Amino acid sequence: MSDTSTFERRTERGVLYVVGGGALLVGAAAVLFGGTQLIIDAAGGAVPLHLEVDHALPDGIGGGTATLTEGAYDSAAVTANGLSGGVVTLLTVARGFGLLTTAAVAWSVAWLAWKLLRGQPFTASVGNALAMAGGSLLIGGLLSQGLGGFGTWLAIEELLGDVTAAADPFFPLVMGFDPAPLGYGLAMMLIALAFERGRRLQQDTDGLV
Amino acid sequence: MGDAELTGVHCRLDELLAERGMTLTRLSEEVGVSLVNLSVLKNDRAKAIRFSTLVAICEALDCGIGELLVRVER
């Protein structure tokens, strides 16, 4: 075997170990730290929220050689306390779906890296893992954003009262939607289909001389 | 049930090699098919064979396809 191919194989294995190990760490961190924080927040009633705002920057920012010509706040990270049980549950479930989605995708990536390291990428388990990750991104992305957005609306109502009556509420009732997780989910399901096709092709050539 | 009974095809590579006094290693060198693949074929563990492999073996052994592969009852 030439030095180049040995170098390529070692590099490939190194990359797979890093990607697989990193994915495992991300998944474990999501479940352990994210899950623990979720339980602590839910038990204590303190819920972190990212609320949209649209306010100008305060005057007098600066002092350096460059100047700000325009700017505005577009979001605020707040922690709300005293929200009703239903809203806390809704927001907790939404965050939970987000964590589960992260864990599912991380586990799938780690499993794929492991199977590639063992030279068996075209197996049913890899196709299933990728399909599960794609499905998780689709369903988890929808549920997490949908429930989270609705829960945030309810939280704003409980924080500010009837914001619809106010002319310019500090936290307006808007719901952002990020289509990226759905796109990634669909892409992952396509990759799962490609792996399934590869598995069938490998099955066809099994025992071929 | 043996492997040949499973596929319904028996490969007579062993017998043809013996008749010609040729080794599997020599055949492997002549036809450019790995020793592992030829062993698979010889022991009736192959499930399929490429036309190119089939023709190369038949040329090297100077035999017909029907002499190399025969049907067996399943």
Q: Using one digit for the tens of pLDDT, what is the confidence trace for A33-88?
A: 999 999 998 888 888 888 888 777 877 777 788 888 888 888 889 999 889 989 99
Residue of A nearest to B48 (CA): A208
CB under 8 Å, gap of 24 or more: what pairs does B54-60 form? B56/B31, B56/B32, B57/B13, B57/B27, B57/B31, B57/B33, B59/B31, B60/B27, B60/B30, B60/B31
Q: Chain B: give the shortest CA distance to residue A204, in Å.
A: 9
Quick check: A207 and B48 CB within 8 A? Answer: yes
- In 3D space, the residue among A142, A29, A143, A155 whose CA is nearest the CA of residue A81 turns out to be A155
Quick check: B40 and A206 CB within 8 A? Answer: no
Chain A residues in contact with B24 by the CB 8 A cut-off are: none
Tell me the pLDDT of chain A averaged across its residues.
88
**B residues 3-32 near A, CB within 8 Å?**
none
Give A67 or B28, the one with higher predicted confidence.
B28
Chains A, B: CB contacts under 8 A, how many? 22
ipTM for the predicted complex comes to: 0.71
Residue A156: the pLDDT is 87
Residue of B nearest to A206 (CA): B47
